[in-house]
Homo-oligomer: A and B are copies of this chain.
Amino acid sequence: MTIHEKVDAPMQCGSCPIRHRAVCARCEADELAALDAIKFYRSFQAGQTVIWAGDQMDFVASVVTGVATLNQVMEDGRTQTVGLLFPSDFVGRPGRSGSPYNVVAETDLLMCCFRKKPFEELMARTPHIAQRLLEMTLDELDAAREWMLLLGRKTAREKIASLLAIIARRDAALHLNTPSGRMVIELPLTREAMAAYLGLTLETVSRQMSALKREGLIELSGKRTVIIPDYEALMIEAGEDADGGLPA
């Protein structure tokens, strides 16, 4: 199979799986038509870099399916993942030409892209888009701050438990239910990518995964499938408040 990026528009906005959650969520039919006119799809294979830090970026985009990460790299190579992008999450900043981060496809990825210039013009006269983008950005800011608590204060064990909880939560949200009890999740990340997001080394991630397994808090089926026998018990290990960061 060849690596292909541009793909034919695979769908109508009306049947788009992220129609009601993405940046276009609040749009009326006519606004959606305007977006539709400037949109195109791109797909990426797991491991491909979507955008290199500093590169010119002539589009903004929504994740349709798959998972991507935002990464910041220091001169000596130390890498920190600063954002985990699930379906409906937005990439790119209107009014700025380059991305400050590497955007990497962690799984096979489908993105709905809008050419930047037309998107900005459309945004200027479409409050519904600007409103939704502000709302989403504020949510991302809250998520980033939650992650600062994790990076600054949590133990390796709590970090792992928190990550699993977040993935379980996003997974549940995709199916429109709330996380609880027994859950089965698919890890979209390698151990190395988990480590990059958690501010750990991959060895520490592996050890803590093994520890959680030994203690029955998780079960592993293959390397990427995790069974959570008791979501609430895992939340306690994550050291989070009772509400577990559910939307206010």
Chain B min CB distance to A126 (Å) = 11
A74 surroundings in chain B (CB, below 8 A): 149, 153, 239, 241
Chain A interface category by residue count:
35 or more
Contact at B135–A82, with CB atoms within 8 Å?
Answer: no
Chain B min CB distance to A166 (Å) = 14
Interface residues of A in 92-107 (CB under 8 A from B): 93, 95-98, 100-101
A29 interfacial contact with B, CB 8 Å: no
The winner among A135, A146, A152 for most chain B CB atoms within 10 A is: A152
- A72 to B146, alpha carbons, bound, how many Å? 8
- A157 to B149, alpha carbons, bound, how many Å? 20
Contact at B100–A241, with CB atoms within 8 Å?
Answer: no
A98 surroundings in chain B (CB, below 8 A): 248
Q: Which B residue sits closest to A79, measured CB to CB?
A: B153
* Residue contacts A-B, CB under 8 angstroms, 23 given: A72-B146, A72-B149, A74-B239, A79-B153, A80-B148, A80-B149, A82-B148, A93-B138, A96-B248, A100-B145, A127-B127, A127-B130, A130-B130, A130-B131, A133-B134, A134-B134, A137-B141, A140-B141, A144-B145, A148-B151, A151-B151, A151-B152, A151-B199
